[in-house]
Amino acid sequence: MRKQKCSLQLYTNFLIANQNRYSGVELSKVAPFKDISHDSISRFLANSHFTPSELWNQVKSLVDKTTGYLICDDSLLDKRYSKVNELAKKQYSGKEHRVLNGISLVNLLWTKGDEFIPIDYRVYQKENDDKTKNDHFHDMLQRAKQRGFTPQYVLMDAWYSSISNLKLVTKKLNWNFICNLKSNRQVSVSQGTYIPIADLDLTEKQVRKVWLKEYGFILVCKIVHKNGDITYLATNDLTLTDYDTFTDHSHQRWKIEEFHRGIKQTTGIEKCYSTRATSQLTHIFASFLAFVKLETRRIKERIPWYEQKASLTRSAVTHYLLANA
């Protein structure tokens, strides 16, 4: 009898249903087809070639391209225990605040306030394609433009707030941005005189118009956190003079942090045990699709991602308790 082959649908559903064992061996044990083999799953991972464009085909019906926010940020898939991995390398982890072995993803998320829809992603591996994270940022935003997006704002943290990135958003794409600025970014309130934004006479809840060096006029404000930390915000939208409105828009950037946490905790995106690059890429793509399935149901039925996963194990626990009562 011919053995069953692994499929993308089977694999993504396995990522959703499983709780902590995401290996091919585990899938071969729980698959409804008794004759599916571990080798079949390994071949599926190694021989598939899915691209981020195929993710877009899955999610384009879920987004409103004429509004909402586009949020860009990167995330590190922790591979600290993977000694040999074709995609992983030593790089900085913002979560751990230290260098770890891992796979870096640059992600583009769309939201209108209550949605978490990943529309594009790139694997950062400069030694293979000679592209920096900023290059991937440019590529994804320009692709979004080609797909017809006209977001209310592009949101990014200070790492992506370089002059070239800001000019891309405003000069080439004709969009508005809101971003964080580092405290040493140079601004001017009088022609020819620049100071670090940290030295700007900026009171709490004040929005002020300044000239950003090498860019042009922007509005800036600062958020003073409860622990005393200060975040500086900037936008090219010179109509955004109300502090509360300004900061409300900027807070939407945290949606991508929630997305990063969610996809790691619900799909096992970090837990592919193959050392081959093609297998890792297939697993990453399947994890994005698994998350989209969870998010689609959350939007339609208002069931959180974690509740969806927990509900899958409850019947098994109930049956076990009844059998051993």
How far apart are the C-alpha atoms of 166 and 134, rounded to whole Å?
A: 11
HEC states along 61-126? HHCCCCCCEEEEEEEEEECCCCCCCCCCEEEEECCCCEEEEEEEEEEEEEECCCCCEEEEEEEECH
Q: How many other CB atoms are there within 10 angstroms of residue 25's CB atom?
A: 11
238-243 long-range contacts, CB within 8 A, separation 24+: 238/209, 240/178, 240/207, 241/207, 242/207, 243/205, 243/206, 243/207
Q: Tokens representing 70?
A: 């586009």
Reading the block at residue 160, the tokens are 């992506």
* Domain chopping of the chain, boundaries: 8-48+278-323, 176-247
Q: Enter the DSSP assignment of 160.
A: G
Q: Which H/E stretch holds residue 231?
A: strand 230-235
Please name every residue paired with 122 in a beta bridge, in sequence order, or none if there are none: 106
Rounded to whole angstroms, how far apart are CA atoms 156 and 133? 13
Task: Give the model confidence (pLDDT) of 130-189 as tens digits.
Answer: 999 999 999 999 999 999 999 999 999 999 999 999 999 999 999 999 999 999 999 998
Give dist(CA 243, CA 28) in Å, integer. Answer: 55
Per-residue confidence (pLDDT) for residue 4, from 0 to 100: 61
Containing 177, the helix (H) or strand (E) segment is strand 177-181
Residue 320: alpha-carbon gap to chain centroid: 38
Per the DSSP assignment, residues forming a β-bridge with 118 are: 109
Distance CA 156, CA 250 (A): 9
Residues of the chain with pLDDT under 50: 1
pTM listed for this prediction: 0.93
Q: Which of 210, 214, 234 is nearest to 164 (CA)?
A: 214
C-alpha angle 250-176-104 in degrees, rounded to nearest 5: 65
Number of helices (H), then strands (E), belonging to the chain: the values are 11, 11
The CA distances from residue 227 to 67, 169, 223, 231, 249, in Å, are: 34, 32, 11, 12, 22
What is the rounded CA–CA span in Å between residue 4 and residue 169?
Answer: 48
User: What pLDDT shows up at residue 1?
Assistant: 43
